[in-house]
Amino acid sequence: MWFKDMLDVSGKELRKTVSDIGVLVFFIVVPLLYPLLYAYLYGREVVREVPVVVVDDCRSTTSREFIRKSDATPDLKIISYCSDMEEARNLVHRHKAYGIIYVPAEFEKTLAEGRQATINLYCDMSGLLYYKALLSGCTMVSLDMNRDIQMERLSGLSDWEKDVMTMPIENEYVTMFNPANGFQAFLIPAVLILLLQQTLVLGVSMMAGTENERRRAGMVLGHEYDNPITVLGGKALAYLLVYGFTATYVLCLVPWFFHMPQLWQLPTLVAFIVPFLLASIFFSITISFFVRDRESCFLLFVFASVPLIFMSGISWPTSNMPAMWKVLAQIFPSTHAINGFARINTSGALLQDVRYECLMLWILTAVYFMLSLLIYERMYRSDKMPGAEFVIAMRTRMRKNLRVARRDIKTVSSRVEANLENATERIRSRRRK
């Protein structure tokens, strides 16, 4: 019985979703298009060819070699040679260049004397990626040239002596799980998860807002189901059904379209995403009670996306967050889901590696389920949203009224008919006279 009720509620909720274009936008259109936009935005992963200017006061073979080689790195592009720093600075100020490479006049001389020569780099700090490009580009060139210079100087020595002196211990660097060390593979998984949670929150609140508006206008009486659990379960089932598809698209297809790392294994992904969706659904239902009308969900919840993504620790490391925010972050499903999904998707973590996040998501599911149930119960008891008894009483009263009305109509019409007959009778009798 309760199961049938639940399916009933589910069906109604689905019909409501499909018929409400606003909700459909949140549940389908935004998840469909927004990730594509973001992936397009960060599609190039890293910044290449950052424009820089050169001030070469040395004008020697070595300095020119350095500049030529910097220009040849993928990171930098030399757009102009300036005669002095003033001119170079002017180009930076006009946003034509983001860095200055300055080679001092005594550069070559210092090198020739066997002392350490310095090249000065100046970087516009409006973006950290410019800094990264300038530093890594020039460092690469200098390491390369340093070796050449050393080899030259060691020409009198044997091979093994050269080796010891230039690089006794080699080192290598491996950026695990994000081969391009880029923006896309790092930010997109977080954006995708947050998108799922936020669209759920917005869509569910919009439905709740609509219902409230209708109730205020006297168009909705209340629920016809006795048990709030069936209502809650039915709704959750409907959303889970819709989001099963949405999540598959967002989490599996979008990264695949854009050739992002996808190291997940299906059982792990499913076992992790189901509690995430459940937690988000009950979270949405819980906070949707604070929404009075259809459109206020925009004003209330959209801005939260920005702090939420930072709370997850994907950008600023969790280990360095103030305790207050670390604690607050725990109550949002997105925090755990972003951390879990980023590792499942990008670093190939298994369920046991994300067991803390998974556990937290189940706990949040339970907590928000209880909370929403509590609110439902209270609403049922209040006259704001009367429960089944009220609805049934209302219906019988209306049926009775209808019956009375029908009877009245019958009596009235029969009376009218009788009068009509009387009248015709009278007219006829007059004519006869």
Partner 1 sequence: MSREFGFWAVVRREVLRMHSRPLYGLSIIFAPLFCFIFFTTLMGEGLPQSLPAGVVDEDNTTVSRSILRNLDSYQQTEIIKQYSNFSEAREALQRNEIYGFFYIPKGTQELASSQRQPTISIYTNATYLIPSSLLYRDMKTMAVMASAAVGREVLFAKGANLDQAMGFLQPIQMDMHALNNPWLNYNVYLSNTMLPAVLVLMVLMVTCFSIHTELKDGTARKWLSLANGNILKAVSAKLFPQTMMFSLMALIYLVLLYGVLEFPDHNGFWPMLVAAEMLILASQGFAVFIASAIPSLRWSLSLCTLWGVLSIPICGFSFPVMGMPEALQALSYLFPLRYYFLIYVDQALNGISLVYSAWFYVALMGFMILPLVDIALLRKAAKKYTYLP
Label the pairing between strands 76-82 and 99-103. unpaired
Smallest distance, partner 1 to C-beta of residue 430, A: 52
Alpha carbons 14 and 298: distance in angstroms, whole number: 22
Task: Pick between residue 12 and residue 89 the one whose CB is nearest to partner 1.
Answer: 89
Determine which helix (DSSP H) or strand (DSSP E) holds 409, and give its type and residue range: helix 388-432
Alpha carbons 134 and 124: distance in angstroms, whole number: 10
Smallest distance, partner 1 to C-beta of residue 234, A: 26
Task: Pick between residue 121 and residue 240 the one whose CB is nearest to partner 1.
Answer: 121
In contact, 266 and 350? CB cutoff 8 Å: no
Among 58, 71, 22, smallest CA distance to 295 is for 22
Task: Pick between residue 102 and residue 369 the one whose CB is nearest to partner 1.
Answer: 102
Smallest distance, partner 1 to C-beta of residue 380, A: 25
DSSP state of 383: S
Q: Which two tokens stand for residue 181?
A: 């060390």
Smallest distance, partner 1 to C-beta of residue 156, A: 13
Smallest distance, partner 1 to C-beta of residue 400, A: 27
- In DSSP terms, 100 is beta-bridged to 53, 122
Task: Pick between residue 54 and residue 232 the one whose CB is nearest to partner 1.
Answer: 54
CB neighbour class for 121 (10 Å; exposed up to 12, middle 13-18, buried from 19): middle
Task: Pick between residue 348 and residue 386 the one whose CB is nearest to partner 1.
Answer: 348
Smallest distance, partner 1 to C-beta of residue 261, A: 9
Residues composing the chain: 433
| Residues 422-430: contacts with CB under 8 Å, at least 24 apart | none
How open is the CA angle 316-319-322, to the nearest 5 degrees? Answer: 80
Task: Pick between residue 98 and residue 225 the one whose CB is nearest to partner 1.
Answer: 98
Smallest distance, partner 1 to C-beta of residue 354, A: 8
> If you write DSSP's letter for every residue of 323-357 in order, what string do you get?
HHHHHHHTTSHHHHHHHHHIIIIIS---GGGGHHH
DSSP state of 89: H
Alpha carbons 287 and 331: distance in angstroms, whole number: 12
Smallest distance, partner 1 to C-beta of residue 155, A: 13
Count Cβ atoms below 10 Å from residue 85 Cβ, excluding itself: 15
Task: Pick between residue 355 and residue 426 the one whose CB is nearest to partner 1.
Answer: 355
Task: Pick between residue 177 and residue 249 the one whose CB is nearest to partner 1.
Answer: 177
